[in-house]
Amino acid sequence: MQNNIRAIIGLGNPGHKYENTRHNIGFKILDALAQKFNVSFRIKDQMEIAQAEIDDTKVYLIKPQTYMNDSGKVLPELLKKGIKPEEILVVHDELELPFGRANFKFGGSAKGHNGLKSIISVIGDKFHRFRFGIGRPQDRNEVPDYVLSNFSQQENVENLIEQNSKEIYEFVKLN
């Protein structure tokens, strides 16, 4: 299946308070991708956006600045540019995967992820996802605090961010 990714959206929450939280792994991976592409983000409307080029194809890197629950608000801008849902890759944290494990997926439900719920409410569920495993606390009631907690030094998240940004780069380049 030809992916033709034209936009990569990293999910997270704006502001210094959330910068290093598990929920912000999408932002962190997009920052690493921007370095690989040698591009910088600029503020436009309700997002930080950068434009990269892979093999003569424009690829937008987007970090919504709307807070997680309203991530879908940036999508009308992409739709106006003629970008279809199946040309979008969303990078997000995933409670259902063990910490550090990651994978690509196409379509499916939000499984309780509010950022994905917001996106699905705007464009449906037929888009690509890069799911970065953050693990899950044993007690369901701890999930809200857990996703907003910082990574520990032992988790060595910087190496994982670098490794996963390379995987995404290759995925986009090859498709």
**So which residues are the catalytic ones?**
23
Q: What is the rounded distance in angstroms from the CA atom of residue 80 to the CA atom of residue 45?
A: 14
Give 56's contacts (C-beta < 8 A, 6+ positions apart).
none
Q: What is the rounded distance in angstroms from the CA atom of residue 18 to the CA atom of residue 13?
A: 6
Q: What is the rounded distance in angstroms from the CA atom of residue 11 to the CA atom of residue 29?
A: 10
Q: What share of the chain is helix, strand, coil (3-state, %, to 5)?
A: 40, 25, 35
